[in-house]
Structure 1
């Protein structure tokens, strides 16, 4: 008697039982979708205060939000020695289990930044719930919970609004760094140091946390991008602002687009040049433990505005503007390099470059790299090209004197 078909039938039936459902499924109406989260260091304790910005589904639709008058998000916060412990503790106050697949923003409170951030990203690499492409910023002169509580004009979800603000600033202005968890962890794992964009609050945070604060043309409080924080061994050392921050990002080859005002013959900063292409190469030489840092920049742009007379039909006038543009860029880069040397923080990847190109030289200076970097000579070269002047040769409102 052939029993083979009977055995196969039982095997097939057993396989079908395993495919009948999702064993770990979770219903959407049982989840609290986290759009942003932040970490603050609890004063005088080895604990973190972890804050979650959770979406209120009934208020996110435009019509529903307008009719109910409710904010689109709510804030939950819990304290624990570990960040994962705070995740789980939140279940005591939240009606739904937190869901992190749509988390856009991770805010580091300034207290956490000053005490050290190396330990707070371990959970991102272990937990399947968290996203490595989450945008990271540092709360400047405030804590993470204050940033996350603020409502944002235009955007329904404040975390999404802050992320867009950070990306736009990095893309078209160049004084902040668009960085996510994955890039940050990789940066901290190398020989150099890292920078993270800062965000500060303008106005009264308590007013900004109320929906009534949004019911006017000028809001009472908002989040603005503010410089870049310099980290050494995971600890915040200081801030780079304005043109110095842009100079640092120039060296890091992170400038996508920016605007620089240069001098005409008679008026200072009267010509606006939009940089739309920039390429930076770095190189390091070592002679008897004396380092020379080479930075070569090639940039291109166009004239977008002229507030003084200049005859743009003449080649020599354009060449003069290119010289002014190169000098201004070089000035910003040197300021940034000198600021980093004062902090003894190699945020420009020179250590990794030396290790890659000359491992034997790196072995000679790696134990004293901070001092070598701080005393290094600077060699900055900038070539600037103006490729367009718009649709007009001479400014309409100015006459040649």
Structure 2
């Protein structure tokens, strides 16, 4: 009996084991409206055989993309996925999905079914990022990026730098369920920079000398602003500058460069943000709601093309005031567009009211849609320049040509 038991143990295995070669690994998903009662599902699948390390032998030639796309249609996401699975010899595997892209038409109809599915899907991660595409989402998924050939991963990595909106499935689901805050997501597009890059030598023509062959910068996906929702329906988009103002108000901006022009467009300084904190504190004056916005930011002087003497503390104070005013202007621009234009509380003003005064929120929440556009902002922006770089003096400007605090003040007054 003991011998039989040993044989049984030795011959046993994991009965539900799944081999990697049996999986179709999903890297990205795009969803578009296909018809009145149907949607189109496009998925990017990893092709492991095409993923070649740069140092591997034979890796210098032209290679096929490391992902391939497949598309199908259905009435719902699960319906489309069932049709997709019928066409694949491997089981769809969702744990490595990096991004969910939603086309504009589908987003304007409502994304709750999409969020519902990916919130419940057993293998899907709640940290998967969401993007909204003006036009068709499948067009973005089909692009092959030069630096990161796996497009869904490239889109996720761009958002992870936190210079733009980064919304995950969990974030979106939480905003849908929360009182006093509406969902927001990244706007993702294919951009054509049109910039030319030097390449190999072009073959001579008509007996002439060989010249440089100019290669056009290939199209690539980019985060170009934000998509605003009211409930689960898309209501509009913001550009990059407006989105930056939203991020200040949401206390989500982690990296940024602020360039300030000092009168003459050729005289500018750049401020690289290394730390930022924002707080929202509601104040009530009768029926008026005033949102006190405090922003604290500090960073480094990364460019001094204005010819100012950065070793002068008075000059630094004036530059700090200009940086603070630039931040305030971005916040005002974003609030005007969002409050008066789209009338959707992606800032979380309602949530700030609820935290500060739950009883007052109970009175306001039923008419918050009318109150929100009239909320006034009281801005208190503090900016500090901590470091001026390796040199206080701008290159190419002699000592007598430097602008002191008096020169700078006069220049700013004439703006």
Question: TM-score if structure 2 supplies the norm length?
Answer: 0.84
Separation in structure 1 between the aligned mates of residue 386 and residue 67 of structure 2, nearest angstrom = 47
Partner of 2:203: none
Secondary structure of the 2:216 match is coil
Compute the displacement of 1:313 (Å): 2.0
Superposed CA deviations along residues 183-202 of structure 1, whole A, max 9, x for unmatched, are: 12112211211211111113
| Conserved 8 A contact 2:267-2:307 | no
- Farther off after superposition, 75-84 or 195-204: 195-204
What is the rounded CA distance, in whole Å, between the counterparts of 2:137 and 2:324 in structure 1?
39
1:116-127 pair list within 5 angstroms: 116-127=110-121
Q: Which moved more, 1:293-302 or 1:120-129?
A: 120-129
4+ residue segments displaced more than 6 Å = none
* 1:180 paired residue number: 168
Structure 1 residues 377 and 154: alpha-carbon distance in aligned structure 2, compared to 1, 3 A threshold: closer
Is 1:143 matched up with 2:136?
Answer: yes
Segment of structure 1 superposing worse, 65-74 or 361-370: 65-74
Whether the 8 Å CA contact 2:281–2:356 is kept in 1: the answer is: no
- Structure 1 range deviating more: 218-227 or 386-395: 218-227
Answer whether contact 2:38 2:75 (CA < 8 A) is retained.
Answer: yes
Q: Once the two structures are superposed, what CA deviation does each residue of 1:124-156 show, in whole Å capped at 9, x if it has no partner?
A: 22221211111211112x212111111111223
- 1:299 shift after superposition: 0.6
The answer to whether structure 1 residue 112 and structure 2 residue 106 are counterparts is: yes
In 2, are the aligned partners of 1:65 and 1:71 still within 8 Å (CA)?
no
Contact 1:60 1:156 in 2 (8 A): no
Q: Is residue 72–residue 83 contact of structure 2 (8 Å, CA) maintained in 1?
A: yes
Structure 1 spans left out of the alignment, 5+ residues: 1-5, 205-214
* Alpha-carbon shift at residue 325 of structure 1 (Å): 0.8
Cα deviations by residue, 1:34-81 (Å, 9 ceiling, x for unpaired) = 1111211223x2222111100112111245776684322111112112
- Match for 2:241 among 224, 240, 243? 243
Aligned partner of 1:23 in structure 2 is 15
Q: 1:198 to 1:398 in 2, by over 3 A?
A: same
User: What do the CA deviations read for 1:141-174 (whole angstroms, capped 9, x no partner)?
Assistant: x212111111111223221122222323x3xxx3
Aligned residues: 374
Tell me the distance in 2 between the aligned counterparts of 1:330 and 1:268: 23
Q: Is 1:397 matched up with 2:396?
A: yes
Q: Distance in 1 between matches of 2:118 and 2:265?
A: 52
Task: Check 1:216–1:190 CA distance in 2 against 1; reply closer, same or farther (3 A cut).
Answer: farther
SS in 1 for 2:115: helix
Cα root mean square deviation, aligned: 2.6
What displacement does 1:88 show?
Answer: 1.7
Instruction: Name stretches of at least 5 consecutive residues in structure 2 with no aligned partner.
Output: 194-212, 402-415
Matches within 5 A, 1:88-103: 88-103=82-97
Partners of 1:376 and 1:299 in 2: CA distance: 24
1:239 deviates by 1.2
Q: TM-score, normalised by structure 1?
A: 0.86
Corresponding residue for residue 50 of structure 1: 41
State how 1:13-92 maps to structure 2 within 5 Å. Answer: 20-43=12-35, 45-62=36-53, 63=56, 69-92=63-86
Matching residue within 198, 203, 206 for 2:187: 198
